Structure formats: C-alpha cells, structure tokens
Amino acid sequence: MYDVLIIGAGPAGLAAAIEMKELDENINILIVDEYLQAGGRLIGQLYQEKDGHWWNGVEESDSLIKEIENHHITMKLGTSVYDIEQNNHWIVFTNNGVFEAEKLLICTGAQETTNPVEGWTLPGVMTVGAAQVLTNVHMIKPGKKGIIVGVNVLSSAIAMELAMAGVKVDAMVLPNNLNINKKEAIPEIVFKNLLSVAHMAPSLIAKLGSKFLFTESLKKLGAKFYPRKGIKMWDIPILMKTAVKKIEGDTEVEKVTLVDLYTNGKEVPNSERVVEVDFVCLSEGLAPLTELISLTGCSFYYIEELSGYIPLHNEYMETEVKNLYVAGNVTGIEGAKIAMKQGEVAAHTIISSLCKNTNTNINKKLQEVEDARNNAAIQFHPEINEGRKKVQQLWEETV
C-alpha cells in the first residue's frame, strides 16, 4: 500500500509529488495518468509573460519529469482509473490493476468545452487544444488554412502559438448564436473578457487600448466601436462581430459560412459569406474535469468565476472527505504555474498529516499561490479572486 496516490501527472500532480519527496524522502508515492506522456496541459503550452519572457510548457514538463525520476517516484502512465472506493484507506481501480493508499490527491485538470456548429463532425474539425498538441508536440500542421471558432483566452493564446509555428489561421470568429443568452456568442461580453490577454498582442494599439478601457462604460463603448473587419493580432484578424453559421464539405472540411453580428449578438441581415478552409478549431474554453472526484462522495458547487462545478475544498487543498485532497485545474481554471503551487500546498498539507514531526512552511506556500495568481500572464476569468472567496465561504459554512 502507498502512502499517497496521485491521480493526474500534470503540473499539479508532478509538483505535489516532488514537494512531498523533498519534505520526506521516505514517503511512498504512486502517480497514475491515463495519458502516455506526463505533463498534462503543460505539453504544448507556449506564451509570453508580462515581462516579455516566454513560458515553455514542454521544457517545464521535462524538468518536472526529470525530478520525478531523480526522486525515484513510481509513475504509471497509460493507466485509466474507472472506480474509487474508501474503506480504512483508498482503493483505486484501474486498467492496470488495483492500488491502495492512505491519502488520495486528485489532480485530473481540465477538459475543453466547445459550442456545436453545423458540420462539426467533419474530418478536419478539432478543438484548439488538439491543434496545439499537433503543432507544438508532434510538429504536424492541422492544415493549410483554417479558422478558429471561439474568441477567448484559451483560443487567443493557442492562435498565437499556431501563428508562430507558421500555421495559416484565416480569422478568429464567434460561435453560431443559437441562444442569445450564450455569452460566448455575444460580442460585447467576448470583448470585455479578451482584454485580459491584450498584453500578448504584438499590436501596440491593442496593448495601449486595453489599458485605457478600465471602466465598464468604456469597455461597452470599445465593443460598440470595435471594427467589423477586426484587429489583427499575430497577423490573424480577430472578428468579434462575426460568427460561423456552418462548416461544409463532402468528406472533409472545405469551407465555412460566416455571418456578421450586432454588438448584442443578433445577426446582421444578408451578411452571409463563404470562406474556403481545410481545418476548423473549436473553442468555448476549459472546465474542471471532475468525473473521478464524483466517485468519492465529495460535495460540488457551481462557481462561474472558476469555470464550472468544482469540489468543495479549503485553501490547504483539503476536501471534506477524510484523506482526500485536490489541486490544479480541477479546483477551478487557472494557469499551470498556479496549479503547480497548489500541488505544493497539497503536498505540505498531506505531509503534515502523515508525518507529525515534519516541519512544513505551508504559509509560505499559500503566499506563493497568491503571488502566482496575481502575476499570472493569462487569467481565464477576470474575477478569479471572487470565485476563490466564494469557495472559502462555502467551506466555512459547510464544514
């Protein structure tokens, strides 16, 4: 039996395992992940920091994996978990056997979400994350010329990566407005959310413009006068007043039909036009991947600022279920650096419980989480701190 079993070999899980070993080299840890390569969402990530430096997820992943090997931590990849039980300890059922542990840390990360578009089952349609992995990891271009459907923080960051790799992205547009209340299809809302990554744009106008649009009224005005032809970032037109109506092709993607939108998301009459492309990337964003945690009896709450349903937990990454801990994007969508710091906090909490005589500086780690959050180059929701406060309040009211 293991002391700690970690589900998820992404940034949170890897960082947690390394931190635990550095606190107590004798602790027995097992990491399992269904993917064949460790690193999780680190794989393929590449973006520019606010200070101009570049974050390379592949390099960071390689560094973490090397530390895992140096600490002789057992890691089983290609191992899917299909059931979890708790008796006096945790029992985890996988396709590679049954494993038992006293403590369970779940770091299953996030999953991509997409808006359905007519024709989205054609070969050549993929998520932006799939295009990212194809391009940055496997060095395969998704196609000769494509379009990204969904203008958000995730798709903007990946669009930059595709452009740097020489992939031709004709434009970024909004999803088809099937429901007027769907925020991903309303130009005014999309415009406000995208201001948080304007610093990544090579366009000086875009960078400076985002600094002046600091009030809600100015943001609304900015959306109203946003040019219909869009603003080019990384030589890609960002069309926040254009939506895709359908994707067409006989046996694969051949073209898309676009339509113009008013600021409130309603279609402009007689504005349809056709653009020839051979691939389409869909992106609504990310949501916490919580299916496995639901097997533990942990409570869930919907927190919009954290991008979906998340397990109830405190700042020490404990859940209300005994010996169950969480870290990373499964607790709310944020960047990889924050996930790693959360993993380290969980490590200190777990070690403090397992080894009463081990000195840990968890307050320092908590501050590092806050520092990483406040300095994040990419923030998936502008009100992330409000979302974290809601979770803490729910914890205090429930536990």
- The predicted-structure confidence for 226-279, as pLDDT tens digits, reads as follows 677 777 888 899 888 899 999 999 999 999 999 998 877 788 999 999 999 999
Q: Determine the pLDDT at residue 178.
A: 52
Q: Could you give the domains of the chain? A: 2-111+286-398 (3.50.50.60), 115-283 (3.50.50.60)
Give the single-character DSSP code of 278. Answer: S
For 228, 240, 394, the CA distances from 225, given in Å and listed in that order, are 8, 11, 40
- Closest by CA to 255, choosing from 279, 281, 276, 280, is 276
Give pLDDT tens digits for 31-88.
999 998 898 877 767 665 666 666 677 788 889 999 999 999 999 999 999 999 999 9
Identify whether the C-beta of residue 148 lies closer than 8 Å to the C-beta of residue 155: yes
Identify whether the C-beta of residue 346 lies closer than 8 Å to the C-beta of residue 366: no
Strand-pair partners of 310: 301
In this structure, the strands spanning 308-311 and 236-248 are: unpaired
Contacts of 396 (CB under 8 A, 6+ apart): none
Give the single-character DSSP code of 314. Answer: -
Angle between helices 362-374 and 336-354 (to 10 degrees): 170
Distance separating alpha carbons of residues 139 and 226, to the nearest angstrom: 35
Give pLDDT tens digits for 46-56.
665 666 666 67
Q: Determine the pLDDT at residue 353.
A: 92
Distance separating alpha carbons of residues 102 and 89, to the nearest angstrom: 5
Strand-pair partners of 74: 30
Q: How large is the average pLDDT for residues 187-202?
A: 55
Distance separating alpha carbons of residues 324 and 395, to the nearest angstrom: 15
- Closest by CA to 219, choosing from 181, 189, 185, 180, is 189
- Closest by CA to 326, choosing from 85, 37, 24, 103, is 103
Find the range with the poorest average confidence among 27-31, 187-191, 313-317.
187-191
Give pLDDT tens digits for 105-142.
999 999 998 888 999 999 999 999 999 889 887 889 99
Q: Determine the pLDDT at residue 394.
A: 96
In this structure, the strands spanning 97-106 and 169-174 are: unpaired
Contacts of 268 (CB under 8 A, 6+ apart): 259, 260, 261, 262
If one compares 176 and 51, the residue with the highest pLDDT of the two is: 176
- Tokens read off for 21: 């070993």
Distance separating alpha carbons of residues 275 and 147, to the nearest angstrom: 9
Q: Determine the pLDDT at residue 185.
A: 55
- Tokens read off for 158: 């990946």
Distance separating alpha carbons of residues 109 and 41, to the nearest angstrom: 8
Contacts of 307 (CB under 8 A, 6+ apart): 110, 285, 286, 287, 288, 332, 333, 380, 381
Q: Determine the pLDDT at residue 156.
A: 85
Model pTM?
Answer: 0.86
**pLDDT class of 339 with cuts at 50, 70, 90:** very high
Identify whether the C-beta of residue 27 lies closer than 8 Å to the C-beta of residue 21: yes
**pLDDT class of 361 with cuts at 50, 70, 90:** confident
- Closest by CA to 260, choosing from 270, 271, 251, 276, is 271
Q: Determine the pLDDT at residue 48.
A: 59
**pLDDT class of 221 with cuts at 50, 70, 90:** very low
Strand-pair partners of 84: 92
Helix (H) or strand (E) holding 293: none
Q: Determine the pLDDT at residue 103.
A: 98
State what percent of residues in the chain have pLDDT above 70: 83
Sign of CA dihedral 49, 162, 238, 57: negative
pLDDT at residue 174 is higher than 80: yes
